[in-house]
Structure 1
Amino acid sequence: MVSEKVCLVTWGHDPLDDRIFFKEALSLGKVYPRVTILATGPRKIQHVGEIKVVSVGRSRLFPWTMWRLCMAARGERAHFYHLHEPQLLPLALFFRLLYRVKIIYDVHEHLPEMIRDFSTRPRKVAALLAAIFSQVDISLARCADAVLVTTGLLESRYARIDSRVVAIYNYPRTDLFDGTHKPPEALRRRYASSRIVLYHGQIGRMRNIPLLIEAVKVVAQRIKDLKLLLMGPVYGNSYRAQLLKLMRDKHVHELVELLDPVPHQQVPDYIALSQVGLVVLPPLSVFTKNIPIKLLEYMACAVPVVGGRLPPIERFVRAANCGILVDPTDSKEIAEAIVRLLEHPQEAKAMGLRGQRAVQVEYNWSRMESRLLAVYRELKEDSC
């Protein structure tokens, strides 16, 4: 065990985020005895196991919240500051100049593409904002001693800067997602008479949720004990109301459940109940670049998948032969894939086991943990 202190800082993520807490912080805690997560949100200090979690509050005024984070980070007097959003990069510049600490910038997603795809502004304005952000982000990333990325495309994007750029894929922890998980008895009883099709993740306008509801109507004509679980945060009460209305209009309101998000460690409970995992994202540019973690979590739990034909999804499904690929804009094709898996359980089981084997051998967090600790070790050696 070494004596250096690590401080992970996030502006917009939950401090118990699956990557920040369950993967990186817990992995770093195996080597570094003092690991702290700083986040915004209701002000409090707590210890989750050996990890200290500090929420500094959040103001509507960006500078005030940034000041709180900055002062809290300064008070930690850490050797490593691990930042999870681009708006924290000015903090990196400030700390490097004054305190000679090591800065790690963790890039979760391809943010310029998210600006283009999800912005409510006119398309040309969104494209201009994305281009400006892209250049500013690359310039500020040079302040970091290391840049961690979650995809090969992001690795290429940041390759032009002088810092270390290392791909730390957001692969699942196989001690949590292992296919042998037994859900609580109450949960098993609740769905004992149903064949479960699961979507877990964000539930928003850009996630193809209406298409999944339409597919359920088709599937229900052949599968009578079907239940579609949509589990995750719903963005906006008006969108929730629209989805509930669509369920009633399609006469599938008894077949579809909107479930609130659960803590990360409880997600395997629901995957373990499922016969099919859905990862049918629309063909937006951002989804052609990001690896959906839900896909790998289904695979880790030996659940066969129905996946949209997008490059990141195709790569894993084809390599492991662990599911069926579909046109992500065609509800009938999605429905046919679900029916095939439910009507051919032996074929579905074989697909699930192949996916699980691929995760156990290659797509697992243990391999990424070694990379993460190597980055920290090299940064420490640089400062000696």
Structure 2
Amino acid sequence: MKICHLTSVHSYRDARIFTKECQSLAAFGHEVHLIAPGAPCEKVNGVFLHGISPGKGNRLTRMTGTVRQVYKKAVDVDADVYHFHDPELITVGLLMKAKGKKVVYDVHEDLPKQIFRKPYIPLYIQKPVSVAIDFIEKNSSRLFDLIICATPHICEHFKKYNVRRVTVKNYPRLGAELRPRDEQIGRGNYVCYIGGLSADRGLNVMQEAVSFTKSNLYLAGRFFSRKDQNRFKNTTEGQVKYLGFLEKEQINELLANSLAGLVVLEENEAFSYSLPVKMFEYMSAGIPVICSDFPLWREIVEKYNCGICVDPKNSKQLAEAINYIRDHPEEARLMGENGLKAVQEEYNWESESKKLIKAYGMLINFNKKEVNISENSNA
């Protein structure tokens, strides 16, 4: 099939969209196109890229202007299947469906719940905005040919609205593991966090926790608020060091020498049922994970003995976990090995990509009364 992926928000180099989904579909033999902001107009790793201009002005202006660009470019590509990744492209999906095209909605997060975590949305309108988005998203999804969900929790969210759905988790690719040499374990006197930086993602708790340790905290990623950015952007001395946004090779070097990777997200419905890719990237790098004590995450950590779960609100408990990892290098090494083994055996993109390929293979013959790809679907 001729497949066109659409995003108005993500980079064309986004790991889930480009590296995993687009390249997997192209490797299987499909003709794959990707429309994304700032993309070069060329073929890269088997995928035809089509760039649009990133929106300018305020958020609403950028959103509407970029969406129009995506739609025009999508019409020009004239694909058999349109696979979009952002809720703001629901209208584009509906328009392509009206043209008789197959349409896939890839849901990366529980958006109605995430609205309450968006600092740019005033508190007094967050609830009505969440309700409105929930209504639009669910009812529009009835018309799409397939819903791809990043977690089982999201898949359950759409259960009443579309039986044509499958969970495709955002696990790391095999072969991308960075296995530290044994002598490196415990050498670097720091723990790290890679990803979006905000209070609800543990920024303040992590900062406070390292003050109770003799270790450093290295932060890499982008801030969600200007206030936090101003507070940390010049942090180059002391126990907390902000490294900015890192490229893949820089991340590899950071992880190779870390005591452990932190993912202490705040307890809320949006985070508690998530499967943050950073946790599995830490595991694939062969370092212990220190994560929030959510049932879903605890099940993974305990199953493979690959880290320590902590109360994400308790900075002293987090400090104790960091100190334990630092003071027990042999046990930390075993945790890292166990995490790497877990990725190799279970939590990898290769196992998830089979679900994606199978779902696309069934798109031609989809019939709402006949096909039900459940959240537990396996190829």
- So what's the TM-score if we normalise by structure 2? 0.88
Residue 76 of structure 2 corresponds to 75
Superposed CA deviations along residues 117-151 of structure 1, whole A, max 9, x for unmatched, are 33555656312221221111001112210000011
Alpha-carbon distance in structure 2 between the residues aligned to 1:106 and 1:148: 5
Runs of 4+ in 1 over 6 A off after TM superposition: none
Per-residue deviation, 1:24? 0.5
For structure 2, the 5+ residue unaligned runs are 368-379
Within 5 Å, give how 1:35-74 maps onto structure 2: 35-40=32-37, 42=38, 44-59=40-55, 60=57, 61=61, 62-74=63-75
Alpha-carbon distance in structure 2 between the residues aligned to 1:256 and 1:123: 31
Alpha-carbon distance in structure 1 between the residues aligned to 2:330 and 2:200: 33
For structure 1, the 5+ residue unaligned runs are 183-187, 221-225
Tell me the amino acid that sits aligned with residue 216 of structure 2.
K
- Selected match of 1:211 from 195, 199, 205: 205
- Selected match of 1:239 from 185, 207, 228: 228
After superposition, the Cα gap between the structure-2 partners of 1:155 and 1:212, relative to the gap in structure 1 and judged at 3 Å, is same
Residue 149 of structure 1 corresponds to 149
Superposed CA deviations along residues 325-359 of structure 1, whole A, max 9, x for unmatched, are 11111111111100101110111111111222121
Alpha-carbon distance in structure 1 between the residues aligned to 2:248 and 2:127: 34
Residue 5 of structure 2 corresponds to 8
Alpha-carbon distance in structure 2 between the residues aligned to 1:85 and 1:308: 27
After superposition, the Cα gap between the structure-2 partners of 1:237 and 1:128, relative to the gap in structure 1 and judged at 3 Å, is closer
Superposed CA deviations along residues 85-134 of structure 1, whole A, max 9, x for unmatched, are 12212212211222x22111000011111112335556563122212211
After superposition, the Cα gap between the structure-2 partners of 1:290 and 1:235, relative to the gap in structure 1 and judged at 3 Å, is same
Specify the SS of the correspondent of 1:283: coil
Residue 140 of structure 2 corresponds to 140
Alpha-carbon distance in structure 1 between the residues aligned to 2:152 and 2:73: 33
After superposition, the Cα gap between the structure-2 partners of 1:381 and 1:91, relative to the gap in structure 1 and judged at 3 Å, is same
1:167 and 2:167 matched = yes
Tell me the amino acid that sits aligned with residue 54 of structure 1.
H
Specify the SS of the correspondent of 1:278: strand
Tell me the percent identity. Answer: 29
1:106 and 2:106 matched = yes
- So what's the TM-score if we normalise by structure 1? 0.87
1:301 and 2:285 matched = yes
Specify the SS of the correspondent of 2:199: coil
User: Which region of structure 1 is more displaced relative to structure 2, 211-220 or 255-264?
Assistant: 255-264
1:261 and 2:245 matched = yes
- Selected match of 1:27 from 24, 28, 39: 24
Aligned residues: 361
**Contact kept? 2:23, 2:45, Cα under 8 Å:** no
Alpha-carbon distance in structure 1 between the residues aligned to 2:90 and 2:213: 48
**Contact kept? 2:306, 2:339, Cα under 8 Å:** yes
Tell me the amino acid that sits aligned with residue 366 of structure 1.
E
Per-residue deviation, 1:265? 6.0
Tell me the amino acid that sits aligned with residue 164 of structure 1.
R
- Once superposed, what is the RMSD of the aligned Cα atoms? 2.5
Per-residue deviation, 1:236? 4.3
Alpha-carbon distance in structure 2 between the residues aligned to 1:177 and 1:331: 30
1:369 and 2:358 matched = no
Per-residue deviation, 1:7? 0.8
Alpha-carbon distance in structure 2 between the residues aligned to 1:329 and 1:168: 30
